[in-house]
Structure 1
Amino acid sequence: MGIITDIVLPVSLAFIMISIGLTLTLGDFRRVAAQPRDFLIGAVSQIIVLPLVAFALVTAWRVEPVLAVGVMIIAAAPGGVTSNLLTLFARGDVALSVSLTAITSLLSVVTVPLIVVTAHQHFVAGSGGEVAGDLTVTGAVLKIFVIVTVPVLAGLAVRHTMPGFALRFEPLARRISAVLFVLVMVGAIYAERANIGSYFAQAGAITLTLNIAMMAIAFYGAAWLGMRRPQRIAIALECGLQNGTLAIAVAASLFHETLYAIPAAIYSLMMFGTALAFVFLVTRGRPAAV
């Protein structure tokens, strides 16, 4: 992807992850300790159930191996910062949403490499495909630590040492993050513009199915477990709105083929439409105080 991969993508991801760090306070960790059940259900839905649903779909769908890994990359990604804003609009538990976004982003330094490397070995190397570089869990952990954990910790340090500045800058950081996210997504699609119709035909239906199915599983599964409506809304949006920039960055840093990033770009195009539809459905006919 040329300049997109070499410059725009790493700068964009670093800024987005810093903005996540700006939202993270010690109160988030205390909240998790005070209400561990809500957080654990959300984290399990995001980190375990979502990749399992993605694996089942790509196995049943029989998509091209590289695209299958691409779907697993977006499924392994933590929630995006937009989930917090849409949770607010949907009258969900914003505190839970922020905690899930921030902490699963930190945990992604371990969870993403495990899922992605395992998926690559199963779908690509296992099918006789060529292994892309020296792909190991340790190597992937180190790369993701640099592009994810370090910026988040930097944002957390700013929030801790300069809370006034962090609170003033965080809304602007969200808007800048949204613009950078669009630039990365458009760049990924533009780089493969000649083949995007074919890729969309192969990965469009499965990514849309993954998105809708996972939001439904999270929302109704949380209801089955006895969670209140605001928490169910937060978890559903957290599982539906993935960090597409991180997914594209993982694809670009671990592999040398743009095709790995296409499912993340396609998923990112669709997820805002389905999330907005979800917000409309859960708020329709309900008073603002609910």
Structure 2
Amino acid sequence: MDSALSTVGLPIALAIIMFGLGLDLTVRDFRRVGEHPKAVLVALGCQLVLLPLVCFGLVLLFDLPPLLGIGMMLLAASPGGTTANLFSHLFRGDVALNISLTAINSVVAIATLPLITNLTIAWFDQSDSVSMPLVEVVKVFVLILVPVGVGMLVRSRSPQFAARMDRPVRIGSAVILALLIVGILLDQRDDVGGYLADVGLIAAVFCALSLMVGYVVPRSVGVADDQAVASSFEIGVHNGTLAIFVAVEVLGSTEISVPAAVYSLLMFPLAAGWGMAISRRRRLRSDAEPAVT
């Protein structure tokens, strides 16, 4: 990837996206965990335990090359993205729960992301070619947490400004992610056809399973429907920019970033389709209720 894009563009992109997340957050979002512990714990269990296991099973099933397999697991270990909040809002999920989950996940990922990624590197016996030093991981999450903190500070000092900036920052984040994806695909243009053949299907299957797991598991244990919708999008819409940044800047491999780039392209139509399916199910259920009574 072009050096200016990786050394300047990626950090700025990640900082803007995390600043936008901070504009949505307050201290109360962290306290809200105590109000809905069941929904939070089930969603985190899906995100931190079940999802990496599902992804690893798919990596083995599809027999991915080592670097692409590491890229898929890095993606699975990445927390939810800010776009999850937008999808949750569009399809009537509990957006407050989304915001709380994103905040907690971003902090917990400081430990879980390098753990899962390093275990995958060891599994594929790639420690000689790629590594994730602790110092670099700390730098990455400083880059994440500082903009989030600044965004939260701005919101506490000027809620009106934070509200006005919400839409522009979301649009800017989407544009930045699109540019990153284009940059990665151009950088890997000689191999992009093969990469899409290798990871296009697995990325789509993983996205679909992530969305379904995030909804079905919480509902099966009695979590409210709107909270299950929030969980679904939180688990199915990953922070692709973070995964790309770690792949390029920490692991030093554009190839490892390819699954996150492909996933980021596919997750928007898949998440939208899933949201419409949930909405249709809700309408059918509400139409049937009067007949039952």
- TM-score between both structures, scaled by the size of structure 1: 0.92
Alignment of 1:108-123 (within 5 A): 108-123=109-124
For 1:231, which of 227, 236, 247 is the aligned residue? Answer: 227
Alignment of 1:110-149 (within 5 A): 110-125=111-126, 130-132=128-130, 135-136=132-133, 138-149=134-145
Alignment partners' CA distance in 2, 1:285 and 1:68: 35
Contact 2:121 2:130 in 1 (8 A): no
Residue identity matched to 1:271: M
Matching residue of 2:63: 62
Name whichever of 75-84 and 111-120 sits farther off.
Answer: 111-120
Look up the SS of the partner of 1:284 in the other structure. helix
Residue identity matched to 2:54: V
Look up the SS of the partner of 1:168 in the other structure. helix
Residue identity matched to 1:257: S
Q: Please say if 1:79 is aligned against 2:90.
A: no
Matching residue of 1:4: 5
Name whichever of 225-234 and 101-110 sits farther off.
Answer: 101-110
Look up the SS of the partner of 2:116 in the other structure. helix
Matching residue of 1:253: 249
Contact 1:88 1:94 in 2 (8 A): yes
Deviation at residue 285 of structure 1 after TM alignment: 6.5
Alignment partners' CA distance in 1, 2:281 and 2:27: 36
Alignment partners' CA distance in 2, 1:201 and 1:178: 25
Matching residue of 1:37: 38
Alignment partners' CA distance in 2, 1:285 and 1:221: 17
Deviation at residue 170 of structure 1 after TM alignment: 2.0
Matching residue of 1:271: 267
Contact 1:109 1:149 in 2 (8 A): no
Alignment partners' CA distance in 1, 2:205 and 2:213: 12
Alignment partners' CA distance in 1, 2:217 and 2:141: 32
Contact 1:10 1:147 in 2 (8 A): yes
Residue identity matched to 1:170: D
Matching residue of 1:191: 187
Deviation at residue 14 of structure 1 after TM alignment: 0.6
Alignment partners' CA distance in 1, 2:153 and 2:34: 21
Alignment partners' CA distance in 1, 2:147 and 2:121: 26
CA-to-aligned-CA distance 1:107-155 (integer Å, 9 cap, x gap): 2222211111221122243xxx63325x33x234313223212221221
Q: Where do 5+ consecutive residues of structure 1 fail to align?
A: none
Q: Where do 5+ consecutive residues of structure 2 fail to align?
A: 287-293
Q: Please say if 1:53 is aligned against 2:54.
A: yes
Alignment partners' CA distance in 1, 2:53 and 2:89: 28
Look up the SS of the partner of 1:130 in the other structure. coil
Alignment partners' CA distance in 1, 2:108 and 2:119: 17
Alignment partners' CA distance in 2, 1:270 and 1:79: 15
Residue identity matched to 2:149: L
Q: Please say if 1:161 is aligned against 2:162.
A: no
Contact 1:66 1:124 in 2 (8 A): no
Residue identity matched to 1:163: P
Contact 1:32 1:39 in 2 (8 A): yes
Matching residue of 1:98: 99
After the TM superposition, which segments of 4 or more aligned residues of structure 1 sit over 4 Å from their partners?
none
Deviation at residue 286 of structure 1 after TM alignment: 4.5
Identical amino acids, percent of aligned pairs: 38
How many residues end up aligned between the 2 structures? 283
Matching residue of 2:289: none
